[in-house]
Structure 1
Amino acid sequence: MSARNRRRSTIIGVSGLSLAVAGVVAPGAFAAETVDGDVKVSNTETVQIQTDASGKVDTKRVYDQLVLIGKGKVDISNPVSTSGLRNLDGFGGFDVRDGKVRVKTSVDGTKKYRSVSTFTKQLPIDVKATYTLDGKKIEPGDVVGKSGELEVRYVITNTTGTTEDVTYKNGTGAEVSAPERVVVPMVASMTTVLPSSFTKVQTDGANAAGDGRGGTQLSFTMTLIPPIGKATAEIGYKAQVKDAVIPAASISALPVDPLQNTSFATAASGYSGGAETGQDLTAGATQIDTNVLKLRDGASDLVDGIIQLRDGADKLSKGLQDDAAPGAKKLAKGAGDLDAGAKKLSGGTGDLSDGATKLKKGAGQLSDGTDKLSAGANKLNKGASDLSDGLKTAAAGGPALLEGVAQLKAGAQSVDAGLVKLSAATTAGGTTFKNTFANSVDGAITAFVDGFAPSLNGALDNLNALVQASSATPTEKATFAGNVAGTKTGLKNGLKSAMDGNLAPPLKSGVNNGVDQLTGGVAGGVGTPTSTIPDGNGGQGPSLRNGVAQLIGGLTKLEGKGGELADGLKKLSTGAGQLKDGTGDLSKGAGDLDAGAGALSKGTGDLKAGTEKLDAGAGALKDGTGKLSDGASKLSDGLGTAASGSGQLAEGLDTAAESAPALPEGAERLSKEGTSQLVQRGDATAVDFGKRYALLEAGAKRAASAQPYGSPEGATALTAYKYEIAGESGEDSANLKRGIAAIALLAMAGAVATIRRRRILG
């Protein structure tokens, strides 16, 4: 080795040793981090990844930049990757200990420290690229020079997911926890330029523009933030190619805080609002379901009351038909018989008066019959006394009978009024309940749509903002903005229409059917009173109010004839008293006649006077028994009508009792199939949106510490990942061929030179 070469080797060796020594520090710990004065510290870690055309990683480097701005002194430690660490601002090394670079300096303005080293952490993004030509999968290198339809697909996956317990609230406001996959929220964009030989380009939602040289520039945006987006995005394009190449592509990825980033905060707020709306919907539906169950319980009580009323009506009908009506008929027959006897008695007293006159003329002939007359008079006196006492008792019971009829009529009228109120209240309540429930469902759906729409609008606004910030033409931007505005309206209207068409109808139908069953059962049982009594031959049909009306009608007739009955009983009682007095006189006269025939003339005169009184009493008795007969007949007719009406009442209550169980059954079905389902859907909505927001919160916490190596304490930390996906153009193969040819030429030249040297030497 020449002296010159040895000297150069020595210089290089010393320089390399100096660089190596510069990266080593003496043992000992760094001092505590301090910043004296007004100095702001920011640290940026930018990771650059080189891959082949399929996405396989070739190299990973991290570029670290520490910026100090202000005036003062700093003594800080910056975590870095120490593998292959190099200073990008000069040839000097760093003061490194435990994976940290110590920076101790004075600042007056701005100072920057830049380094590059090998990235040793796990990459947060995985990239895979596949290629098909005319529908057949092909390796990237084999695409070069081919023609046909080329499809390129990129699959970009956020690989930072870890399983964590996230906490959120359900529809009742109670906190629940569940293990969920939480990622570091990442947004990414990919750009590539297709050469002019790529025609008929089709993309998956990319922004496309010319590159000014005949090519097509594509830009894709990816939101790798569940639940706003998906952890994996698949993008790509198709094109007709000729003499094809594989264009290179570049992907930039950044961790973001979705709760603070303006592009995603609207969606996060929408999830929070959706969770609150779900809780409100659950609370409202729970209240409605509680009221429906109360309605069911009330309907059950109503069923019990109707059954008790039916049983009472059955007893009333049986009493009227089995006891009262037959008794009234017997009373009418007895009154008729009494009236017939009174008529005969009236005729007999006239004959008795005539006989007394004759007796006065022929008193001598009377002596033989005085014993018989005295015995008959005693019996007649006793019968008249019994008749008088019985009629007094009957007359005394008349007012009580009339009072009972009046009370029975008042009770029947109260029942009819209650039935009218029951029917009206049920119908009005059903209508009010259906309207209230329908308004509640419509209000809940409107609140849900209004709460969810902002999140959709926010996402569309974010997309529009990205388009407006892109390199699209003004016309394309204006067109996209118009489409976004129309999409907002269409999404909101579509959501409202879907919920109105799928959720509201079954809920409202369930409520309407249940309430209609309630009002129909009451209306069918109560009915409307008729003016005629069913005749059993196709006449008016039975109903609850019809039976009550028939009962009231019969009692009214009986009540109208009660005065006549009482008056007749009173007169009959008076006539019976007079009859008793007359028979007493007859008995006395007969005794006198038996005691002394000498007083016959006077006795027969008294007899004549007595028979005249008897005739008057018999006439009064005749009038009373006639009225009693008429009253008893009317009482029999009235009780017959009442018995018929009570039968109608019993039949109507039977019908009501049969229909009544449908009321609580309908309310129970409404709860199970309607309101309880609404409670479940409200709870599901609250859980879904609550979980989404909780995932964003958990992701935001991970984003705060997403820098791979970390920054000095108190510094502003920024991170970015840059993926460079290599293309395929065939130049490497051409260079290899040229290299082989050059080696061959050199070999040939060497051989020629050897041959010439041998010739010269030979």
Structure 2
Amino acid sequence: MKLQELKNVFKNRFTVKVIAGVLSISMIATGASVYSVYAEKTQAEEVQQEKEETVDELVDKESNTVSEKDIEKEETVYVLSNASGKAKKTIVSEHLLNKDKKDSIEDKSDLSNIKNVNGDEKFTRDGDNLKWEANGKEIYYQGTTKKEAPITQKITYKLDGKEISPKELAGKSGKVTIRYDFTNNTSFKEKVNGEDVEVCVPFAAVTGLSLDSKFSNVEITNGKLVNVGEKTMAIGYALPGVKDSLGVTNNDFTGDVNIPNYIEVTADVKDFELEGSMTAVVNAASLMDKKTENNSDLDSMVNELVDATNKLQNGSKELSDGIGTLDSKFKEYASGIGVLQNGIKEYTNGASKVADGANTLNNGVKTLASSLPALSSGLNQLASGVDQAKAGSDKLISAYSGNGTAQNPGLYNVTQQLKQGLASFGPSITASIDNSLNGVFAKVNEALKAYNMSVNEQNHTQVINAVVGNLSQQLATLPTSGMSPDQMAVAQQKIITTIASLEQAEGAINTLQQTKQSLSQNEGIGKLQAAVNGIAQYVGDANTPNSLYGGTVELSKGLGKLQAGTSTINSKVPELLNGVNKLTNGTQQLANGSNTLVSNNAKLNNGVDQLNNATGQLTVGIAKLNDGSKQLSDGIVKFNDEGISKIVNSYNGDLKPFANKLQAMLDASKDYNSFAGISENTKGNVKFVYKVAEIKK
């Protein structure tokens, strides 16, 4: 029958629906299931075969493949690509079945970096020949390859009708078109009516995209749209290379029949971002029953369509049951959110206690500062000051150990800082001051990495002022940034906190430099240092945090030593008092920061309350999805009764030459059972999963 005669037959009959349906109808449902359950591991290199609802199992479950007992090698190829569809890495996961419990399994593979992913069984390699020490077990291994997959994809993007790169599209708004073009790179020669005909392996590709609420007015060419809560699932399918192998074009079919080689999604988008997409590619021969693969009779294909639809009907029932399980398990997750909510409340209560401790520490340092002027009145007044220091130290016991954080460092750490600060009065501690400066510079430089700037002792004021000015400009422009009120509040707080930190760092640097200069010519510091050592002993150390009594004794000894140098010390007391006042400012900032932390407790509690409420709403949504899956199952039954049955009953016409070409493709398809290699006389099957990278701002 000539092509023109075929056109006349196709105009009024369902025959082409039978042919296209065999290759695509089952794949639509299969692809939806694949996209719903497949999740890439955090590290792509660790892709492993799971035993429940993996890509392998879903494709096998929804199609008429050979029975599991006849398969000796199952292969899944994961192609990881960028947002334009260009492959970056190909990982192949192999499963060697061992139904006879053999001690060793011989295999063939051209993969690199082979490793066992589900056991510790070893293998030896001779070229592409592998020998696994199975010990009666099945083998799961993976490797990598640089070979090109049989199906390649090209993804193009348009914004308001003009092509644009994925990177440039991120964050844009307008009419967006995403197109997937698939190319079939396979070619085999088969006999058709006594002549050699070049055909491809008829792969079927199903692509899934999850579109959030930023996408509206979504349309799809060669696919289906499914609403899932606030998201839209776009499921598209293509049969690349099939039309060319059959020698037909879309003009040869009626308007409702198509054998596409591309998928196109169009939508109005605000602030474009895309989570990425997933494409499952399977050999069309895996959609056929074993007895039908070698039958060129179109009647057998019609029977196969009936069988495939029945299995699709069974699969929809399994999907409904699976979503029912999700419904019950999500309730357990919702219960966990309630536990998290209680934990957040405990955390905010703890933050309040930290703020109380910081205020207590600040008051204690102020008490210490008020006792220092007594040094100028002589040894008798010094003794009185010791008594005051004793009274103040009793108040500091509760905050002595601290928790090691900047908000509550502990009284021991504060006294050590005071000790180091006093030690810096003498020329001998110049190196210590330099170390402190270097420490401050290091922390400031770490904060300035984002601005590609750094400070040193000479330029710190200039650089910090420049960055503070830049941040101030950012703060002033936030109201026009398009952020939500909550986002703007977070951004403002972050900028204000950064400015305050930089200004505090600049003050610390100036203080250290001034101290270093003012002490370079001072005398008598050694005696003052001895007194400070006595204070440090009075407080205690980290190994004996509760030894206040022993510290008091040591402090008394230190104060005794102070008597000999009272006159010298008294002349330096104003400088000492100035340093303590600066320390007081630091503890005040610590107290203020702790109070700021407490002030955010309400927002944190409100946030977790909103999460808890949203989880409740999602629970309701999953329940609705459960109801929808049941309706889908019922719809498949109706589709089988009212759709496929009518197609089969309406089948008529002489399409033998066309069917023979299709059979030639299936013959080529039947022989394609591995990508990375397979031993002779070994039965296997292969699937491909393409993961496209996300597009983010």
Query: Which is greater in Rg?
Result: 1
Greater per-residue helix proportion:
1
Q: Same fold (TM over 0.5)?
A: no
